[in-house]
A and B are shown apart, each in its own frame.
Chain A
Amino acid sequence: MSPDPRGFLRLAGTATAPQEGASGAFEGEWLAPWLRVRRKIEGAGYGTAIEAGFRRAGSACARIVGPEPAIDMGDYLSAITIKAGRRAGAAFCTAAPLVAARLDGPRFRSWMSLMQRFAAMAPDCVLPVLERTEALLERVTLSGFEAWLLGGVRLAGADRERRLAFFRLETPDAAKLLEREAGETGFFDVERRMRAYLGALYGLRVPVREAPPDRHDGARRRAGFAGGLLRMPPSFPGFSGDQALALYRAALAHIGAHMTYGAAPFPLGQLKPMQIAVVSLIEDARVEALAMRALPGLARLWLPFHIAQASGAMTAPSLFARLSRALIDRDFEDIDGWVRKGRDMFHAVGDRLEDPAISRAIGNILGNDLGQMRVQFNAKTYAPQPPYRDDNAGLWAPAEDTPPEEDDAVAVEGVRLRQAPDETPERQRPDGPQAAAGRARASVARDVGLPVARYSEYDYQAARDRPDWTTVVEHPPALGDVRFAARVLERHADLAQKIASLVRAVRVGRPQRLRRQAEGETLDLDAAIDAHAALRAGQMPDPMVFQSMARRNRDLAVLVLLDVSQSTTDPVDGGGRVIDLERDAVVMLAEAMVGMGDPFAIAAFNSNGREEVRYTRIKRFCDPPGPQIGSALAGVAPGYSTRLGAALRHAGAELRVQPSFRRLILLVSDGEPADVDCPDPRYLVEDARRAVQALSLAGIDVFCVGLGLSNAEQQARIFGSRGFIQIADITALARKLPALYLRLTR
């Protein structure tokens, strides 16, 4: 039976009547504009729910942030309702007073304007976001909230279902991004130092895994260990900054104590859940006591987390927390008999502390006592206190039917790695912005690649790096004509000769001391003495008695990065396609580089969205020169788009490990960065600029050879005004590229 709509209206009306208009929220000069905007909303026909909602929200907000923003709310409400629908509009009215209670006037206005922009970007997601607004703003600031919204929109690209799932907080990405914006330090951001801490304390080398997202709640809230694996929750909600770090350390120190001082898992037997919990609690205290015997400073780490008070309800969680504290904190006095009994029994064991059997013995007695005291225990909601304690699963031999932990974790990792290629086909729907991208993808058949690395990407709008944003997928080079290089060299025989003579003329490198020279800055003492000795002995002295500093060795590693996006298949005026001319030029360049004896590598890249930045190593640094380079070059299949920043970062990672004094990425590209999931042309430009800057900080120079008359202003923005050159006549590329290389590396 549905309630009478008119009755509901009347009810709503009476309930809100005292809050309306004249009741103090809008006085004097504000009353008229308020009534005007109300009439406007009522006249727009959004329905009674929104009208009533606006009346309520308007006066509520006016009381908190003042009448002006509350009146402006009307316009925002209209815009949102038009874009995102009536339910979103109603949700906006519900959320507004809650938000107003958190923010001041100007920021409340920014929030409204943000929601309006968001409604334009992702209308279907406005409702779920508004429903969660209060919870979200509890964790992040307004600017963090904005960054999270933009991040979600960007992350999902054109995939609407994924976007909706993100804003419903159903994807791990959403939680992770929120965590970052909230400034909460996730465990896996500091994993390396934490593992080192565990290793230093106990000499343990245990693999640490993130608790899989589909695990029951307890495993996500508490750390755990089993089967030689350590499981950590990605973060502990409510702990941030140094507190979170201390909690991670406390958790690791605790589990390390189990692994060092604990015995084989206890058999479950016929124990009741409450007994299991008590035995685990005693065992926790036992291993901690042993660990503190060896490492007394651990007490300072653990004690601050024991905050249970001596008074409180006689419930199991409260009693357990108090007993935990009583066992570790000698200054803690509890009035409760059960807690005192536990403490006295534990402290009475003296030197039998090494014996794990005492945990069973004491735990059983205390568990039985609790049973007689009729204390209720809910195993489903119980989580050991304080939060650094593990979930106790590792203390007990697993029942037969639970799968071993390791498989579980490995399976999760596997899924995570496979995610990228698996999801791509779903997104190839021929609607919306995808249709335009279809052009760029049509020509290449899908082939297998291996996701090898993830890189961050810079979002200039949010002014921050988005970690692990792009996935680089490496493809093995497809082999083409083996005689390709030889034929190119034949065609450009005169050019090959010219390059050879240029190569002979060029020298770079770092200064080196040259001894026994015919001339130089200073005397080489050893040589002078030898010469003098020879003179005295009546022999002919060696005249080479000087030493000097000189740059003799070239010490340069070059990575040639080829843009092989779809646009390189465009024909060139002088004949052939851009890609053909690129290949010829690279063959000639390789010839020059082999001649110089420089270590070099060649790679080609294109991209298909952020999950698939395709990267092919045509020649690695360790490969010897030979016809296979030409063959791999001939096998390069152009297609897809240009996600420049990710490719540069990956190339930088390859180049970084080269021991050379100078390291250079020579990029050959015909266009500007673009990708199917980036409608904003500036986004990838700014990201590429960021990547170039980061590489430069790492001592890697990037130089771009722009083919055709590409956008010079944009290239100057990415590479710096002296970091690029434009070659208008692409047919001359084979001649210019090697000469340019030699000039550049002089």
Chain B
Amino acid sequence: MDLDQYRIEAEPFYHATGGEVAQFAAAYAARLPVMLKGPTGCGKTRFIEHMAWRLGRPLVTVACHEDMTASDLVGRYLLEPSGTVWSDGPLSQAVRHGGLCYLDEIVEARQDTTVVIHALTDDRRVLPLEKKGELVHAHPDFQLVISYNPGYQSVLKDLKESTKQRFCALDFGYPDPTVETEIVAAEARIDAATAHRLVQIAQRSRNLRGQGLSEGASTRMLIHAGALMREGISLSEACDIAVILPITDDPDMRDALTHAVAACA
């Protein structure tokens, strides 16, 4: 079994906002594990897809969730007519065959899960499969990437110090208004003026971060709004259903945002 199904054929659109492409390429050349930090919807996943394409490596993505256990990552024995059969988990596959393994929102997973990556992320580069009694040496092309959103970490959900310190980190924020306008225009296929207006609206909502909103509108939301407008929905309606309603349930915040949107156009 190899990782062909995980290869990315076409170039994913990514607009660099700084030196992150060169930085990531350097980290990959040194096979250093990388942590992508930043608020939701700012382009972390798109970036790693783009880099996997650029580096020509398959990309195994795992969305971490609360109930995820270590065996969901490394693999487990399954029952088959002939008896029990070991089945590699996504992480083990990437380790064996040399791919990028991207653990999205790693803090969501149970803490014991994060410990299995420890041996992979220092100079040992091995993955012990306890149940199978096997020690998998990482393929030379393997690299581990995790994403980590510092926005909604709580005391209960934070990375252990020992985990954090194994990674290089790239910080992602929302791009500059001009860059963000280009991104929204390109992704949603709308004109630059409309995209600019959407970016302005997003800035209004980001002003409220920590003042009633835990997070402002993301670039992804703007692209959604833009896509709706391309289908003929008006700006205020598009902002309503793609930005304001998803982002908050607080009537006061909704009211403030609705009128701020009105002020932008």
Residues of A whose CB lies within 8 Å of any CB of B are 190, 192-197, 199-203, 205, 249, 253, 294-298, 300-301, 526, 528-530, 532-533, 536
Within 8 A of A (CB), among B210-253: 211-212, 251-253
Which residues of chain A have C-beta atoms less than 8 A from B79's C-beta? 528-529, 532
**Residue pair B252, A193 in contact (C-beta under 8 Å):** yes
- Whether B77 contacts A533 by the Cβ 8 Å rule is yes
The CB with the most chain B CB atoms within 10 A, among A199, A249, A530, is that of A199
Chain B interface residue count, CB cutoff 8 Å, equals 28
- What are 20 contact pairs spanning A and B, CB under 8 A? A192-B212, A193-B252, A193-B256, A196-B208, A196-B211, A196-B212, A196-B252, A197-B259, A199-B207, A199-B256, A200-B208, A201-B260, A201-B263, A202-B207, A203-B203, A253-B263, A294-B200, A296-B264, A528-B79, A533-B84
Do A526 and B71 have beta carbons less than 8 Å apart? yes
Contact check, A301 vs B252: say whether CB atoms are below 8 A apart. no
B89 to chain A, nearest CB (A): 13
Q: Is B1 interfacial (CB 8 A cutoff)?
A: no
Q: Which of B76, B204, B251 meets A200, CB within 8 Å?
A: B204
Are A297 and B263 neighbours in the complex by a CB distance under 8 Å? yes
From DSSP, what is the main secondary structure of chain A's interface residues?
A: helix
Q: How far is the CB of B235 from chain A (nearest CB, A)?
A: 10
Give the docked Cα–Cα distance between A294 and B256 (Å): 18
Q: Kindly state whether residue B122 has any CB partner on chain A within 8 Å.
A: no
CB distance from B177 to the nearest CB of A (A): 11
Chain B residue at smallest Cβ distance from A301: B263
Q: Which among B71, B261, B262, B263 has the greatest number of chain A C-beta atoms within 10 A?
A: B263
A294 to chain B, nearest CB (A): 8
| Interface status of B83 (Cβ within 8 A of chain A) | yes
| B255 close to A197 (CB less than 8 A) | yes
Provide the residues of chain A in CB contact with B252, threshold 8 Å.
Answer: 190, 192-193, 196
Q: Is the CB of A201 within 8 A of B78?
A: no
Cβ–Cβ < 8 Å partners of B207 in chain A: 199-203
Task: Assess the A197–B256 pair: CB atoms within 8 A.
Answer: yes
Known: A196-B253, A200-B204, A200-B207. A529 touches B84 (CB 8 A): yes
Inter-subunit contact A295/B263 (CB<8 Å): yes
A634 to B265, CA, bound (A): 65
CA distance A403 to B79 in the complex (A): 82
Residue in contact with B262 in the complex, picked from A194, A203, A297, CB distance below 8 Å: A297
Asked whether, in the complex, the Cβ of B264 is within 8 Å of the Cβ of A297, the reply is yes
- The distance in angstroms between the C-alpha atoms of A197 and B259, with both chains bound, is 7
> B205 on the interface (CB 8 Å rule)?
yes
A526 touches B76 (CB 8 A): yes
Question: Given A200-B204, A297-B264, A526-B76, 15 more contacts at CB 8 Å?
Answer: A190-B252, A193-B255, A196-B256, A199-B256, A200-B208, A201-B263, A202-B207, A203-B203, A296-B264, A296-B265, A297-B261, A298-B263, A528-B79, A532-B79, A533-B77
Asked, given contacts A200-B208, A297-B265, whether A529 binds B77 with beta carbons under 8 Å apart, the answer is yes
Q: Does B257 contact A (CB under 8 A)?
A: yes
Query: A253–B204 Cα gap in the complex (Å)?
Result: 13
**Cβ contact within 8 Å between A301 and B262:** yes
> 7 nearest interchain CB pairs?
A196-B256, A193-B252, A203-B207, A200-B260, A197-B256, A297-B263, A200-B204
Is the pair B253, A295 in contact by a Cβ cutoff of 8 Å? no
A532 contacts across to B, CB distance below 8 A: 79, 84
Chain A min CB distance to B242 (Å): 17
Query: From residue A137, how far is it (CB to closest CB) to chain B in Å?
Result: 32
Q: Are A200 and B265 in contact (CB under 8 A)?
A: no
Nearest opposing residue in chain B for A530, CB measure: B77
Distance of A194 Cα from B262 Cα, bound (Å): 14
Q: Is the CB of A536 within 8 A of B83?
A: yes
User: Assuming A526-B76, A529-B76, is B84 touching A295 (CB within 8 A)?
Assistant: no
Chain A residues with CB under 8 A of B265:
296-297
**Whole-angstrom distance from the CB of B46 to the nearest CB of chain A?**
27
Tell me which of A193, A195, A202, A528 has the highest count of chain B C-beta atoms within 10 A of its own C-beta: A193
Chain B residues whose CB sits within 8 angstroms of the CB of A298 once the complex forms: 263
Interface centre among B76, B259, B261 (most CB of A within 10 A): B259
B253 touches which of A193, A203, A528 (Cβ 8 Å): A193
Chain A residue, CB-CB nearest to B77 = A533
A371 to chain B, nearest CB (A): 38
Residues of A within 8 A of B264 (CB): 295-297
- Given A295-B264, A297-B263; A529-B78 close (CB under 8 Å): yes
**Complex-state Cα separation, A295 to B263, whole angstroms:** 5
Instruction: Give every chain A residue within 8 A of B77 (Cβ-Cβ).
Output: 529-530, 533
Q: Shortest beta-carbon distance, A248 to chain B, in Å?
A: 10
Closest-CB distance, B39 to chain A (whole angstroms):
17
Shortest A197–chain B CB gap in Å is 4
* Bound-state Cα–Cα, A731 to B83, Å: 70
Expressed in whole angstroms, the Cα–Cα distance for A300 and B259 within the complex equals 11
Min C-beta distance of A119 to chain B, whole Å: 43
Question: Shortest distance in angstroms between A580's beta carbon and chain B's nearest beta carbon?
Answer: 43
Nearest CB of chain B from residue A224's CB, rounded to whole Å: 22
Q: How far is the CA of A249 from the CA of B158 in the complex (A)?
A: 40
A529 CA to B261 CA in the complex, in Å?
56
Residue of A nearest to B67 (CB): A513
Q: Which residues of chain A are near B211, meaning CB under 8 Å?
A: 195-196, 199, 205
List residues of B (176-201) whose CB comes within 8 Å of A's CBs.
200
- Asked if A201 meets B84 with Cβ closer than 8 Å, knowing A295-B264, A532-B79, the reply is no
Q: Which residue of A lies closest to B211 (CB)?
A: A199
In the complex, what distance in Å separates the CA atom of A532 from the CA atom of B76?
13
Which residue among A253, A297, A526 has the maximum number of chain B CB atoms within 10 Å of its CB? Answer: A297
Looking across the interface, which residue of chain B has its beta carbon closest to that of A204? Answer: B207
CA separation between A300 and B204, bound complex, in Å?
18
Q: What's the least CB distance linking B123 to chain A, in Å?
A: 33
Task: Find out whether the CB atom of A197 lies under 8 angstroms from the CB atom of B262.
Answer: no
Contact between chains at A249 and B259 (CB < 8 Å): yes
Chain B residues whose C-beta falls within 8 Å of the C-beta of A193 in the assembled complex? 251-253, 255-256
Q: How far is the CA of A298 from the CA of B78 in the complex (A)?
A: 63
Nearest A residue (CB) for B197: A296
Q: Which residue of A lies closest to B201 (CB)?
A: A200
A526 partner residues in chain B, CB cutoff 8 A: 71, 76
A residues less than 8 Å from B76 (CB atoms): 526, 529
> A678 to chain B: closest CB distance in Å?
34
A196-B208, A529-B77 as given contacts; A295 in contact with B200, CB under 8 Å? yes
- Cα distance, A280 to B211, chains bound together (Å): 32
- Interface contact A300-B262, CB-CB below 8 Å: yes
Closest to A194 in B: B256
Complex CA distance for A415 and B88, rounded to whole angstroms:
70
Report Cα–Cα, A297/B204, bound state, in Å.
13
**Complex Cα distance A298/B259, Å?**
9
Name B86's closest neighbour in chain A (CB-CB).
Answer: A533
Tell me the residues in window 1-48 of chain B with beta carbons closer than 8 Å to chain A beta carbons.
none
CA A528 – CA B79 in complex, angstroms?
9
Residues of B with C-beta under 8 A to A253: 263
Within 8 A of A (CB), among B135-156: none
- CB proximity of A541 to chain B, nearest CB, Å: 12
Interface string of B105-146 (1 = CB under 8 A from A): 000000000000000000000000000000000000000000
